[in-house]
């Protein structure tokens, strides 16, 4: 059994290190600044105008999350174990009376806390700006969008940690993380649309392929939260609404949770069997 005290000690160390990491600080400032800038685009006016402006701003925030959060989560997670392996810090840590599960979970929870703090700051400043302008018509929907962003961030961090257990060097891990980011953000979306058009793929097949991507899960769930229908997604969105109805959102939430748990379990399994791999990596 894992000792929670050891996990907590490693978690706080990782959290402090992340807060002092210059790249993490740059990510935090950039995300918060862009979120604030998007919220400032709303112009005061009538109630209907404010509701339309909020919908556009919420959509812009969703797109910001789709670009920033996967990049931050994948890169921070993938560089964590490989960086410590190359510097020898990982070998030193494992020489202490801690298990491999405690080490990986402590590191994961620490990075997760830092990542969620970044999102909280970004959405927090945007929410304050929108509230001051009287533009948030449904605070519950806004908060639920933040929760969806949290789930996406944790899913990307789990994938990053999995990649960190597979790669031997930090450069390889970061390269894999950037490729996966491009695959999920650009190739996944545009590639599915292009394939569907060229092959006349059935709408239901297009939808099921799309929701295998955690970014698309977040996108669809966020749209449902904002406007309660998926007309903006075209025929695939109408198919999803007709086919699943009120079950669609819980299914998407379950899918995001699985994207958090399964890669993390994979990372734990690989890391627990990598004694020789870790020692070789630290000797280079």
Cα 164 from Cα 144, distance rounded (Å): 30
* CB distance 240 to 248 below 8 Å: yes
* CB distance 251 to 149 below 8 Å: no
Closest CA to 13 of 116, 107, 154, 119: 107
Cα 39 from Cα 131, distance rounded (Å): 10
* CB distance 111 to 74 below 8 Å: no
Percent helix, percent strand, percent coil in the chain, to nearest 5: 85, 0, 15
pTM for this entry: 0.86
**Cβ-based neighbour number of residue 237 at 10 Å:** 18
Closest CA to 166 of 155, 177, 156: 177
Closest CA to 34 of 158, 157, 123: 123
What is the number of residues in the chain?
A: 284
SS (H, E, C) 57-112: HHHHHHHHHHHHHHHHHHHHHHHHHHHHHHHCHHHHHHCCCCCHHHHHHHHHHHHH
pLDDT tens per residue across all 284 residues of the chain: 677 888 999 999 999 888 887 877 888 888 888 888 877 765 454 444 444 456 677 778 888 898 889 999 999 899 888 888 888 888 888 888 888 999 999 999 999 999 999 899 888 888 887 777 665 566 777 888 899 999 999 999 999 999 999 988 889 999 999 999 988 887 666 556 556 656 666 777 777 777 788 998 898 888 888 775 666 666 666 777 777 777 888 999 999 999 999 999 999 999 988 654 444 444 44
Cα 251 from Cα 244, distance rounded (Å): 9
Cα 87 from Cα 278, distance rounded (Å): 11
Which positions ≥6 away from 76 have C-beta within 8 Å?
A: 18, 24, 111, 114, 115, 157, 160
């Amino acid at each position: 059994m894992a000792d929670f005290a050891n996990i907590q000690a490693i978690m706080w160390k990782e959290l402090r290190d992340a807060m002092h990491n210059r790249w993490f600080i740059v990510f935090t400032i950039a995300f918060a600044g862009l979120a604030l800038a998007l919220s400032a685009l709303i112009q005061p006016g009538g109630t209907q105008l404010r509701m339309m402006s909020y919908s556009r701003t919420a959509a812009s925030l969703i797109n910001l999350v789709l670009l920033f959060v996967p990049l931050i989560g994948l890169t921070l997670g993938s560089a964590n174990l490989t960086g410590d392996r190359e510097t020898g810090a990982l070998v030193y840590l494992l020489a202490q009376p801690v298990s491999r599960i405690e080490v990986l979970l402590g590191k994961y929870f620490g990075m997760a806390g830092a990542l969620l703090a970044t999102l909280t700051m970004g959405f927090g400043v945007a929410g304050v700006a929108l509230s001051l302008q009287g533009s948030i018509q449904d605070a519950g929907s806004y908060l639920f969008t933040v929760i969806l962003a949290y789930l996406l961030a944790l899913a990307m961090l789990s994938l990053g940690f999995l990649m960190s257990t597979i790669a031997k060097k930090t450069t390889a891990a970061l390269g894999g993380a950037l490729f996966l980011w491009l695959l999920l953000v650009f190739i996944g979306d545009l590639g599915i649309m292009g394939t569907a058009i060229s092959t006349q793929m059935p709408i239901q097949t297009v939808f099921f392929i799309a929701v295998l991507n955690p970014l698309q899960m977040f996108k669809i769930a966020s749209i449902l939260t904002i406007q309660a229908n998926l007309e903006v997604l075209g025929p695939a969105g109408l198919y999803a609404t007709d086919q699943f109805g009120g079950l669609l959102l819980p299914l998407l939430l379950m899918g995001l949770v699985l994207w958090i748990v399964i890669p993390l379990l994979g990372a734990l399994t690989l890391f627990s069997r990598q004694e020789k791999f870790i020692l070789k990596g630290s000797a280079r």
